[in-house]
Amino acid sequence: MGADELLHQVGDKIFLCLGFSPTELLWQRLARVVQQEAKRAGAASVDEFLQRALRGERAVLEAICQGLTINETYFFREPKHFDALRQLLPELAALQRPLRILSAGCSSGEEPYSLAMTAQDVLGPLGHSFEILGVDFDAEALERARQGCYRSWSFRDQGMQRARAYVEQRGELWCVRESIRARVTFEQLNLIERVPSGPFAVIFCRNTLMYFTTEHRNAIVRRFTEELLPGGVLVIGSAETLERPPSELERVTIAGAYLYRKRPRLGSVTTVADEDPIQVLLVSASPVTRVAIRQALRLLPGVELVGEARSLEEARTRLEDRPATVVVDALENGILLERLTGLQSWPVVVLVGPGVQPPRGVPAVAVPELVPGAVRRVAPELGEALAAARSRWRDRPKVDGAARAGTGILRRPSPVGGTVRPNGRPGTGTLAEPVRRAAERLLLIGSSTGGPAVVAELVAALPLGLGLGVLVVQHMPPNFTRSFAERLARVGQYAAREVEDGELVMADTVLVAPGGRNVLLTRAGRVQVVPPEPEDIYVPNVNRAFVSVARAGWGPRAMAVILTGMGDDGAVGMAELQAAGAYTVVQRPEEAVVSGMIEAALARGGVQKVVAAADIPSEVVRWAQRGVLVPPR
């Protein structure tokens, strides 16, 4: 049996044990770990060590599993999560005494000690007791955690500034003071087998869930939810998302951080999710505002965005086919407020700018200032307005069909041909026959570790009608990219699929590079799918895709984005794209799961802007609206 076959058999066994979803990076890491552990164990050869693993030798399997688990962590990583916790702790303290906090996937202890320090800052002066439990699969990491001593690198960024009062220097090490260590206990366990018994007021599980298969991830989140107190919070990594969170969890924003809060028991608080989902039709002429409102709606439990319209006329056509609650963007177009009389047949909510008086009797949400992020900040008010609009509409006096037809603007004839194309422009075909056209502009996305969740968030927020084609290069092995493309098709409005050789890049379409292959763009806008080169460490390779776009003359028509990821792939290609006239952006490194690709691109000097992941869709829209360019032929 060859070495590669042995490695894959061991990998299948190990990944099943850990519940990991095997990616190309995990296979590469497994090969390195096996070599390191075989040498450490004094094995005659790597093959002999792998054979022992296949025979089920516990010591060998445990050594590989512990070497494979990822231990990248430091004190107060992603500070906004701890800022949010500071705000919540006084309220959470009323739920439980002592207050219990779980750190799942705690590695070598930096996170649970950071939690203990934060809790001591807030709850100590109040005389409220607390307990921190850290759990991890890696026994060696847990032993380091119990010792509680770290080198200065574990306190990078804001770590030392926040932890200084609770650590003391011993030679080259900084050790956590006994007053904090006494609050923290550690336990070895595998999350796919069980989670610790609750209840907990807070559960931190950051940058861990993304390594599990979808089945195991969903099961773990369900168990977390069961062990969480009503009103308690679940915190995951900034680059992670829950595809189908349990109905008991609602996504909230506190101190700029996204958290999941378990709903209080029935009878204490009413939310829009207590009833059937509210289906929303969004009416907005501004692509930038549509992105912002869409992001706000996605934060609301029990709210489903079922369509978008660029005008009241288009809304009328869509509402005839599918009734919905209408959200009207009047932030920069107050004239719309005078034209709402024809909307009495449907529940309506309007968004208005500062100082604008909404129509009497229409639920409205005032956005105090028209700046980035302002709409997301009023998401709770938007949820309340939607619930009020539905309630008023249900309680309205019933009228006959003739009266219900209405006479206002939404009952006027639609544009010529009576249809609107998926890109929002009038057309003569039917809605069932979308007009396909070649992309005028190209959005390139390169990512690796932690990327799928961020890419899904980005694609879900992109509006149609920008003339934009999207090419995603995500480090993934074969057989995984097809399901990734299917996931992107479900979350957003764009068509999405794994690209085929020779396929033309189309507008309103996402093409995903197939696992195990590289993709290159031709001058005519077609994608070539080719085998990787022998020197390609990462496949699909971001550098090769980016360079091909630059050399095909698409630079001025391209925007390139590098997201979270391990290694340096994409840095060379982004620099060449920037020189060729492309607009180049990276995700903020401090919110990335692994910032290697981002930092490599910054070091190369090819990055024009650093943007928070949540703001990248708006940045794409602003770039795309600078003008429509015809692709090279």
Single out the residue of 246, 254, 314 nearest to residue 281, CA to CA. 314
Q: Which H/E stretch holds residue 528?
A: strand 526-530
Residue 426: closest CA among 411, 439, 414: 414
448 assigned to active site: yes
Rounded Cα distance, 35 and 46, in Å: 6
**Of the listed 154, 311, 447, 448, which one is catalytic?**
448
Cβ atoms of residues 283 and 324 within 8 Å: no
State the catalytic residue, choosing from 329, 475, 595, 618.
475
* Per-residue tokens: 493: 């409005």
The token pair at 232 is: 């308690």
Quick check: 362 and 342 in contact, CB under 8 A? no
Which candidate, 105, 76, 73, places its Cα nearest to that of 209? Answer: 105
Quote the tokens at residue 630. Answer: 């015809």
Residue 485 near residue 512, CB atoms below 8 Å:
yes
DSSP strands (E only) in 56-207: 99-104, 130-136, 149-150, 167-170, 173-176, 184-188, 200-204
Lookup: tokens for 390: 């539905």
Task: Report strand pairing: 228-235 vs 257-262.
Answer: antiparallel
d(CA 234, CA 375): 24
β-bridge mates for residue 98, sequence order: none
- H or E segment to which residue 40 belongs: helix 24-41
Asked if residues 318 and 401 have their Cβ atoms less than 8 Å apart, the reply is no
**Tokens read off for 453:** 């969740």
Active-site option among 136, 138, 568, 569: 569
Q: From CA 328, how far away is CA 309, in angstroms rounded? A: 10
| Residue with the two structure tokens 């003008």 | 627
Residue type, 33: V
* Per-residue DSSP letter, 422: T
User: Measured in Å, how far apart are the chain's first and last C-alpha atoms?
Assistant: 51
Q: Which residues are marked as active site? A: 448, 475, 569
